[in-house]
A and B are shown apart, each in its own frame.
Chain A
Amino acid sequence: MKPLDSTGTTFTRLSAGGTRRRDWTPWIVGAITALVLGLFLLYPIGKTMLSSFVRQGDDLSIWNLTFHNFTRFFTSPLYKQAFLNSLVVSLSTTVIATLIALPAAYAVARIQIPFRNLLMSLSVIPLIAPPFIGAYSWVILLGRQGIFTHYLNSWFGIELPSVFGPFGIILALSLAYFPFVFLIVQGALAAADPYIEESASLMGAGRWRMLRTITLPLVLPAILSGSLTVFIRALGNVGVPSVLGGDYYVLPTLILFQVEGFFNLNGASAIAIVNVLLVLVVLLIMRRISGQKRFVTVTGTTRGARRSVSRRARIFGIVYCWGLLALALLPQAVVLFSSFAERWTGTLFPVQYGLGNYRLILNDVLSPIINSLSLASVATVLALAFGVITAYVSLRKRFTGSWLIDLTIMLPFVLPGIVTGVAYLTTFNSGPIVLTGTAVILVFAYFVRRIAYAFRSISSAIGQVDPQLEAASAICGSGWMGTMRRITLPLIAPGILAGGILVFSTLIGELSVTIMLFSGRWKTVSIAIFEYLTSHRIAPASALGSIVVVITLVLVFAASRLLKRSMADMFK
């Protein structure tokens, strides 16, 4: 029945006799999308692939093709180790994040817990705050001279493994990324039809049996999709292993090492390709698993799942959920705390508190703050403009090229930030388009990385506008432009604004692309924090980090008020 309820402005081929002017908008939008896809995705990906098969220093030509950069994964212990480390870190992070998230998701969905909405909203903080900002907190807490280390040792005699290396990285990443699993599984559990479980219990299934045979299988797709996100993030994260890695290399830090140490773009390209292949392999495996198990979990019933009010369940729920959240927010708390430490060397706690760090950074790093804000603003405007036209066309017009839009939005998702960074560095360093060191390259990298955010929130806004409104406006005598200006844009404005805030706020602290593409002139706030951290100037790093996190939080909170959605919903 699709064609019967299509809108009036549909793109339809006219046969003889029709003199109505052709609707060119899908073609124009298709061309813009193809340009973005070609220039900012396919071209960099292609050039990166090509350069990964060429030795450093050689020209990019088919005569120079070699497997040299890839054979190093077999010959060089550093490469081999980094590959294995990456697997260990990202798989462990995925497993741990999923395991700690599931009980919390179950508890929030099925147990009556006080301040449930507050808990959900706070759980997005680890997703908003760039994880590398909080990573050093684990050194302060668990390092050789750490606060916890001291007390654990003096009170219980417990020796902790070194926080530098896999222990610290996995800990920091698991606590930063578990909300991805928590939020999506909680949503699925809350939406699951209660009648299914009720009928199982009527048939005599006990609590554990029901969990194992009914509840878990029903939310398995949600679990898989959440843990896939965790895996991709963990595999692509460069900040945390840089801060906590030491000489424990993973693929992203190896890329960084190759680029910063030797400017070996060919080697970095090969590592990036291996990184993407890992993502793709896991993506395919996950699709395989979830493809076999597809259930319809959401039904017509408006009755939500029942929440247990039993005393034991509630105590467990409160302790577990709030405890986990406290642990996850601990790094941010430590960052905030140490941002006020004016003197803190060799002692367990700071000896002098004050606002000195904030004064220092306002003098020192005002220009990175301005850079970050302006780069993020321009990229946000681009992403929104692109999001509006692509979302409008894909929802409102019959358009054969919609796969172009899908591909443009999906591709950046499988490319970890550092990979996009390497690809852009390799591509726009030489050849027909040279952009390295400019603001333009950062803006376009940001833009491409955040298209999906903008597209998602704008298309959901357009989806809520009845196409009949546009038809009604046309009937009243308004042209297409007038209808856009008077009806469509005013109605989707909140969605555009919220999408913009989401894009903008997640770009302020962006590190993984920035670290590949920034230059002396275009240093951002995330680079400034990163440089403070790697030169062990923790207090100013914390002050700057606190500012970034607070700005981001305020913006996301504003967006959620604007959309009348909870903060948690915006990240599902």
Chain B
Amino acid sequence: MPEPDLKVRSLTKVFETAEGPVTAVNNVSIDVEEGEFFSLLGPSGCGKTTTLRMIAGLETSTRGDIVFKGKNLAGLAPAQRNLGMVFQSYALFPHLTVFDNAAYGLRIRKLKGSEVKRRVDQLLGILGLDGLASRYPTDLSGGQQQRVSIARALAYEPDMFLLDEPLANLDAKLRVQMREEIRRIQRELGILALYVTHDQEEAMSVSDRIGVFQLGHLRQVGTPEAIYRDPTSLFVADFIGKINFFPAAQLSGDGGGARIRLASGFEAVLDRTKQLSDEEKAEFGISMDGVLAVRPEHLVLQPEGEPGIPGILRRVLFLGSMTRCFVETPDALREVMVELPERLPHLQEGGSVSLGFEPRNAIWFGSGNG
């Protein structure tokens, strides 16, 4: 296996605040391969932006190493790291034209005027900004400003491409278009990209791999599909996509599977089991042995009386490509969401139903040995 391009080791950031030290990033280690598109995903305040800023050198680290292609970046100022970065606010220089913004890094690197012009023109062309070179940032639309900031970040062929919530200020439609474009350019240039976002759909759609952050910890790293199908914690399961939690008692847990029983008495045997940490158990308010987790698309609605989890159908929403139903049951932690591929004619709001699922589609998060 080749040595990863970027190695982040035990990276930690402690901020001294008036209320005492706050650990914003806690012992984070990441490996990113050459040309990989890696997303740092998590809710606000989870440490993803601070991690990115430490890699950029905009924030000093309290502990830990950042090594790029065998070179430790710790002692280097941002200017010496040869990075390209796109900021949430774009941070375009308002007193410089589009061309001068894009040429900024090239001129600092003292390239010849003709070479600067050739490279900037080429990049502006790729980004669909031809004809805007002599405009000022304030004359541009949000999407155009975004492209200029990408051009500025990539003009001098940096070693890494860092993006800090680059799409947060765009409207929904433009967001989808821009993320595709960012992904296309990144692939074309084959540059290692680190992408910070709080939007899981965005992260899933563009990334090779995702690192999910929570409270300063890196909880899980994997491809979008792996993280969705195989979350290792309740937080990740809950944050990536939608999921239903059913607290349950564990009857036996020997061999490969776990035998569990819900409050209603429904029993199931599950092959896929994960360890539930005491922290998460407390955080999600689980008083039983563990939690059964099932995605909405893996639940089916059966007539009352069939083996399954009993509940009452509260609402049916027809959403075009699918039908979303909400079922109330004392067995679940919250109202249960069910997504059905088709509208079933017999569904009656207020009627009793039974929730069924294939055990291979469910995960058991169990604490201890049961």
Contacts and interface: CB of A to CB of B under 8 A. Distances in A.
Interface residues of A, number: 32
A475 B95 contact: no
B77 A474 contact: yes
Contact of B87 (A14, A15, A472): A472
A474 B50 CA distance: 17
A12 B81 CA distance: 19
Contacts of A474: 57-58, 77-79
Given A12-B60, A20-B74, A472 B91 contact: yes
A477 B82 contact: yes
B366 interface: no
Contact of A4 (B24, B83, B94): B24
B24 A471 contact: no
Given A19-B74, A478-B79, A468 B108 contact: no
Interface in B9-51: 15-17, 22, 24, 45, 49-50
Contact of A477 (B16, B49, B59, B109): B109
B228 to A, nearest CB: 29
B53 interface: yes
Interface string B153-171: 1001000001000000000
Contact of A469 (B61, B79, B93): B93
A222 B74 CA distance: 51
A430 to B, nearest CB: 47
Interface in B70-85: 74-85
Contacts of A469: 91, 93
Nearest to A7: B58
Contact of B17 (A2, A14, A466, A490): A2
Nearest to B109: A477
Contacts of A476: 79, 104-105, 108, 152-153, 156
Contact of A8 (B24, B53, B152, B153): B53
Nearest to B87: A468
A8 B74 CA distance: 14
A392 to B, nearest CB: 18
A18 B87 CA distance: 26
A8 B22 CA distance: 18
A3 B15 contact: yes
Contacts of B77: 20, 474, 479
B94 A19 contact: no
B56 interface: yes
A18 B12 CA distance: 12
A401 to B, nearest CB: 16
Given A20-B75, A475-B85, A3 B17 contact: yes
Interface string B329-349: 000000000000000000000
B242 interface: no
A17 B63 CA distance: 7
A152 to B, nearest CB: 59
Given A4-B49, A8-B56, A18-B61, A473 B104 contact: yes
B220 interface: no
B105 A477 contact: yes
A354 interface: no
B62 interface: yes
B89 interface: yes
Interface string A1-39: 111101110101011011110000000000000000000
Contacts of A466: 89, 91
A196 interface: no
Contacts of B80: 477
Nearest to B89: A468
A486 B84 CA distance: 18
A7 B56 CA distance: 12
Nearest to A465: B94
B25 to A, nearest CB: 11
A3 B19 CA distance: 12
A322 to B, nearest CB: 39
Contacts of A477: 79-80, 82, 105, 108-109, 156
A491 interface: yes
Q: Which of A6, A7, A469, A491 has the most CB of B within 10 A?
A: A469
Nearest to B105: A476
Contacts of B149: 472
A482 interface: yes
Given A476-B156, A479-B77, A8 B17 contact: no
Q: Which of B15, B56, B79 has the most CB of A within 10 A?
A: B79
Given A3-B17, A477-B108, A19 B75 contact: yes
Contacts of B17: 2-3
A490 B95 contact: yes
Contacts of A490: 95
A277 interface: no
A487 interface: yes
Contacts of B49: 4
Contact of B78 (A6, A8, A12, A17): A8
A464 to B, nearest CB: 10
A475 B60 contact: no
A486 B100 CA distance: 11
Contacts of B15: 3-4
A475 B56 contact: yes
B61 A8 contact: no
Contacts of B63: 15, 17
A472 B156 contact: no
B26 to A, nearest CB: 15
Contacts of B59: 6, 8, 10
Contacts of B58: 7-8, 471, 474-475
Nearest to A493: B95
Contacts of A18: 60-61, 74-75
Contacts of A3: 15-17, 22, 24
B95 A491 contact: yes
A14 B15 CA distance: 11
B199 to A, nearest CB: 19
A7 B49 CA distance: 13
A15 B62 CA distance: 6
B91 A471 contact: yes
Contact of A471 (B62, B74, B87, B104): B87
Nearest to B80: A477
Contacts of A491: 94-95
Q: Which of A7, A19, A20 has the most CB of B within 10 A?
A: A20
A472 to B, nearest CB: 4
A477 B153 CA distance: 11
A407 to B, nearest CB: 21
Interface in B242-301: none
A472 B92 CA distance: 8
A531 B164 CA distance: 65
B50 A475 contact: no
A305 B4 CA distance: 62
Contacts of B153: 475-476
Contacts of B91: 466, 468-469, 471-472
A337 B232 CA distance: 88
A17 B64 CA distance: 8
Given A466-B89, A468-B89, A469-B91, A479 B74 contact: no
25 contacts: A2-B17, A4-B24, A4-B45, A4-B49, A4-B50, A8-B58, A10-B60, A12-B60, A14-B60, A15-B62, A17-B63, A17-B74, A19-B75, A466-B91, A468-B91, A471-B56, A473-B93, A473-B104, A476-B108, A476-B152, A476-B153, A477-B80, A477-B109, A478-B79, A479-B77
Nearest 8 CB-CB pairings of A with B: A8-B58, A476-B105, A468-B91, A19-B75, A3-B15, A472-B91, A474-B78, A477-B108
Interface of B: 15-17, 22, 24, 45, 49-50, 53, 56-63, 74-85, 87, 89, 91, 93-95, 104-105, 108-109, 149, 152-153, 156, 162
Given A4-B24, A8-B58, 12 more contacts: A3-B17, A3-B22, A4-B49, A20-B60, A20-B75, A468-B87, A471-B78, A475-B58, A475-B78, A476-B153, A478-B104, A491-B94
